[in-house]
């Protein structure tokens, strides 16, 4: 948006909890590689109640914000515009402040998922399975709407969650069938499995990994590998990690906030890997 800017600029990640966020590591690595020596990127512990006050105090030096839970929907009323991608899942993870002072929201998680899969050679699948039904699962459905030509089966724990996933399918124009979490081991035979659940939830499924698994996209990154991802790799399946997603969505954020294209993917990935190894 402000290509070639040399004045001191600020960006940050907001959320609660936020201490664990790798976003500062990734964005600062990009600034270093791009020689944006006057740019800074911080983290702020902000919940929904504090968000409007934080926005009210932002000055003209601010270029953009990354948003994590629980702010991805709470931020929408504070913005002047959101992209079609963000509107499709009612979630904003990126805010860019334009030169004329407008606040524009986007969602880079969805194209980040697609980019992470494409990096592993996954351009299109004829069916897929999603484990879980939270906010990340809706983003997964939005990504699958771009690359999946057939049915997606979502494995969930309650009928209420099942209904939500079917509604998202209708909204995103993708065929979604729901199944009980008790049968989640069946998901592992799909051409693409996207695990969107919290740490520990899929551990018991590791014993059910088939002998010739296809592709697993596990959105977790710390601790890594998860038992499911470790068994998947051991059996020769392709694994896409949460760090892959984090890096690809951050690349898009850096490009939008700085106007520099392309952002330094590999430098950002290596910085993330070093930070995780140090934990």
| pLDDT one-digit tens code per residue, 26-43 | 999 999 999 999 999 999
Percentage of residues in the chain with pLDDT exceeding 70?
Answer: 98
Q: Are strands 103-106 and 94-97 parallel, antiparallel or unpaired?
A: antiparallel
Strand partners, 176: 152
φ and ψ at 62, to 5 degrees? -80, 130
- Alpha-carbon distance 79 to 70, whole Å? 16
Half-sphere exposure of 149 (CA within 13 A, CB side): 6
Distances (CA, A) of 82 to 8, 44, 90, 141, 171: 26, 22, 9, 19, 17
- Alpha-carbon distance 175 to 145, whole Å? 9
Active site positions, annotated? 72
| pLDDT one-digit tens code per residue, 160-207 | 999 999 999 999 999 999 999 999 999 999 999 999 999 999 999 999
CA angle 248, 253, 255 (to 5 degrees): 95
The predicted structure's pLDDT at residue 150: 97
Instruction: Quote the mean pLDDT of the chain.
Output: 96
145 pLDDT higher than 50? yes
The predicted structure's pLDDT at residue 5: 42
- Alpha-carbon distance 87 to 89, whole Å? 5
> Which helix or strand (DSSP H or E) is residue 35 part of?
none
Rounded mean pLDDT, 73-78: 97
Strand partners, 239: 216
Q: Are 275 and 267 in contact (CB under 8 A)?
A: no
Max CA separation in the chain (angstroms): 56
- Alpha-carbon distance 94 to 165, whole Å? 24
């Amino acid at each position: 948006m402000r290509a070639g800017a040399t004045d001191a600029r600020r960006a940050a990640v907001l959320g609660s909890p936020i201490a664990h966020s790798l976003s500062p590591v990734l964005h600062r690595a990009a600034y270093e590689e791009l020689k944006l020596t006057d740019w800074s990127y911080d983290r702020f512990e902000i919940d929904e109640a504090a968000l409007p006050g934080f926005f009210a105090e932002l000055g003209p030096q601010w270029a953009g914000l990354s948003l994590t839970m629980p702010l991805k929907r709470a931020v929408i009323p504070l913005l002047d515009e959101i992209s079609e991608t963000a509107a499709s899942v009612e979630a904003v993870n990126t805010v860019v402040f334009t030169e004329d002072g407008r606040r524009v929201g986007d969602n880079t998680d969805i194209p980040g998922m697609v980019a992470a899969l494409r990096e592993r050679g996954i351009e299109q699948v004829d069916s897929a399975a999603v484990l879980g039904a939270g906010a990340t699962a809706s983003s997964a459905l939005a990504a699958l709407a771009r690359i999946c030509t057939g049915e997606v089966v979502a494995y969930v724990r309650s009928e209420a969650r099942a209904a939500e996933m079917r509604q998202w399918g209708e909204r995103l124009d993708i065929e979604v069938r729901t199944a009980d979490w008790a049968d989640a081991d069946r998901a592992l035979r799909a051409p693409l499995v996207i695990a969107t659940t919290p740490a520990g939830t899929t551990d018991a499924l590791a014993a059910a990994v088939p002998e010739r698994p296809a592709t697993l996209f596990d959105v977790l990154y710390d601790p890594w590998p998860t038992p499911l991802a470790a068994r998947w790799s051991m059996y020769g399946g392709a694994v896409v990690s949460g760090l892959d997603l984090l890096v690809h969505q951050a690349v898009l954020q850096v490009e939008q906030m700085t106007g520099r294209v392309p952002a330094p993917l590999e430098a950002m990935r290596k910085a993330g890997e070093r930070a995780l190894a140090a934990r």
